[in-house]
């Protein structure tokens, strides 16, 4: 996997300040020497690589030629839904048959085969005032192949998408695969000593444009500053993350960059379209104090539910535990047209579940 470029600024020998503290978390703090960037990135960049594998970013993976993010499966684990950029998928209209695959953070094929690519109508017929950046968002619907899990084998919780309008002047995080670099010195031959070329970097949102559908963050190649990372050639579809209510949520998909900025398509403006493609997508406004300790977000991985399984019900933000046998069999009995055992919602939900919070 090799599609996200994060450029790290040179760190100057200046008096200590908050900005230097931010930059010390990058190249120089990790022991890098700007006179030998290749070697520094090879073996002194591990802290940023490790940050990219934090649990909130394990939904980030790759499709052929691009970075992408798994945003969930359907209730029967037949289809997986992958968020990326429009320029990363084949499309002729808003809905196009395609073939692709999604590989997870640990190089496991999670979704693969004949599916569908979706792009919003604004990508097909761009309104006046909108361009390539503000319309560069897509969803792939691909056949499910495996449950996305963390290092302990526990299913990864689907990420939350942003539908608020307060991204400006807040820190943004990039995570993905691709060419590494320092300042404006980037090269395809820069690799870590071991493992995938995956990295974590941050900047700050400082522009909203193209009828408010586009979003941008500056980059300072020298530093020190809050704008210490940038996406670059090879990013192609990675999600942008921002803290909202103590949770990391997806605010944009990467479109591209210039020498001193990154650009993306703003997720909040496409909420209705995303819901039309994948109704089970989780948005920030739908969740209230989302708990951390649960096995699945209902109805994901429905057929795996058993006695003791704890699920999050997105409709009310509460946790429910599947009751012991013989009631546990009711926990897997659900469909949109027959939801009497749906936790907290169905007419007979208490036969299958007990409320935990």
Count CB atoms within 10 A of the CB of residue 240.
Answer: 26
**Residue 21 and residue 11 in contact, taking contact as beta carbons nearer than 8 Å:** no
β pairing state of 160-161 and 282-283 = parallel
Average pLDDT, the chain: 86
Residue range 198-254, pLDDT digits in tens: 888 999 999 999 999 999 999 888 778 889 898 866 678 999 999 987 789 999 999
Residue range 73-132, pLDDT digits in tens: 987 889 999 999 999 999 999 999 999 999 999 999 999 999 999 999 999 999 999 999
Residues 62 and 11 in one domain: yes
Residues 275 and 301 in one domain: no
The full DSSP string for 196-265 is --EEEEEEEEEEEETTTTEEEEE--SS--SS----EETT--SPEEEEEETTEEEEEEEEEEEETTEEEEE
The DSSP letter of residue 149 is B
Residues 52 and 186 in one domain: yes
Dihedral over alpha carbons 357, 315, 110, 2 (to 10 degrees): -100
DSSP reduced 3-state for 31: coil
Residues 230 and 337 in one domain: no
Residue 48 C-beta-side C-alpha neighbours within 13 Å: 37
β pairing state of 310-313 and 296-297 = parallel
Burial group, residue 18, by CB count within 10 angstroms (0-12, 13-18, 19+): exposed
Residue range 8-23, pLDDT digits in tens: 444 333 322 222 122 3
Task: For residues 118 and 139, give the distance between their C-alpha atoms in angstroms, rounded to a whole number.
Answer: 5
Q: How many domains does the chain have?
A: 2
Residues 301 and 237 in one domain: no
Out of 239, 258, 287, a domain closes at 287
Residues 164 and 131 in one domain: yes
Residues 39 and 153 in one domain: yes
User: Comparing C-alpha atoms, which of 288, 305, 303 is closest to residue 353?
Assistant: 305
Out of 287, 304, 333, a domain closes at 287
Residues 281 and 337 in one domain: no
Residues 149 and 215 in one domain: yes
Res 14: pLDDT = 30
Residues 256 and 318 in one domain: no
Residue range 130-156, pLDDT digits in tens: 999 999 999 999 999 998 999 988 888
Task: For residues 283 and 234, give the distance between their C-alpha atoms in angstroms, rounded to a whole number.
Answer: 28
- Given a cut of 50, whether residue 24 has pLDDT beyond it is no
Distance in angstroms between the alpha carbons of the first and the last residue of the chain: 40
Out of 287, 318, 335, a domain closes at 287
Q: What's the domain range around 75?
A: 1-287
Residues 268 and 336 in one domain: no
Our measurement of the distance from residue 164's CA atom to the centroid of its chain's CA atoms, rounded to an integer in Å, reads 17
Q: What is the CATH number of the domain that holds 4?
A: 2.40.10.10
Residues 179 and 203 in one domain: yes
Total length of the chain: 357
**Residue 203 and residue 219 in contact, taking contact as beta carbons nearer than 8 Å:** yes
């Amino acid at each position: 996997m090799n599609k996200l470029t994060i450029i790290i600024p040179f760190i100057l020998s200046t008096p200590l300040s908050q900005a230097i503290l931010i930059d010390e978390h990058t190249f120089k703090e990790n022991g890098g020497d700007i006179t030998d960037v290749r070697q520094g990135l090879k073996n002194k960049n591990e802290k940023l690589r490790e940050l990219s594998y934090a649990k909130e970013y394990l939904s980030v993976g790759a499709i052929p030629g691009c970075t992408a993010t798994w945003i969930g499966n359907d209730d029967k684990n037949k289809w997986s839904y992958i968020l990326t950029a429009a320029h990363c998928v084949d499309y002729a209209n808003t809905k196009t048959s395609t073939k692709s695959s999604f590989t997870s953070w640990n190089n496991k094929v999670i979704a693969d085969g004949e599916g569908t690519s979706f792009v919003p109508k604004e990508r097909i017929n761009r309104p006046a005032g909108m361009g390539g950046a503000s319309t560069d968002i897509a969803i792939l619907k691909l056949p499910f192949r495996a449950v996305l899990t963390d290092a302990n084998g526990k299913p990864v919780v689907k990420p939350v998408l942003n539908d608020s309008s307060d991204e400006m002047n807040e820190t943004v995080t990039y995570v993905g695969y691709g060419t590494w670099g320092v300042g404006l010195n980037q090269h395809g031959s820069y690799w870590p000593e071991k493992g995938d070329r995956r990295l974590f970097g941050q900047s700050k949102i400082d522009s909203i444009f193209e009828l408010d559908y586009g979003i941008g963050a500056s980059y300072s190649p020298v530093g020190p500053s809050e704008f210490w990372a940038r996406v670059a050639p090879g990013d192609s579809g990675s999600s942008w993350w921002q803290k909202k209510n103590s949770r990391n949520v997806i605010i944009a998909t990467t479109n591209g960059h210039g020498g001193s900025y990154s650009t993306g398509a703003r997720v909040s403006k496409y909420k209705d379209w995303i819901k039309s493609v994948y109704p089970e997508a989780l948005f920030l406004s739908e969740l209230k104090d989302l708990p951390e300790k649960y096995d699945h977000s209902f109805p994901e991985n429905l057929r795996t539910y058993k006695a003791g399984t704890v699920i999050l019900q997105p409709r009310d933000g509460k946790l429910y535990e599947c009751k012991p046998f013989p009631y546990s069999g009711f926990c897997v009995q659900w469909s949109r047209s027959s939801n009497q055992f749906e936790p907290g919602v169905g007419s007979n939900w208490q036969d299958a579940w007990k409320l935990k919070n």
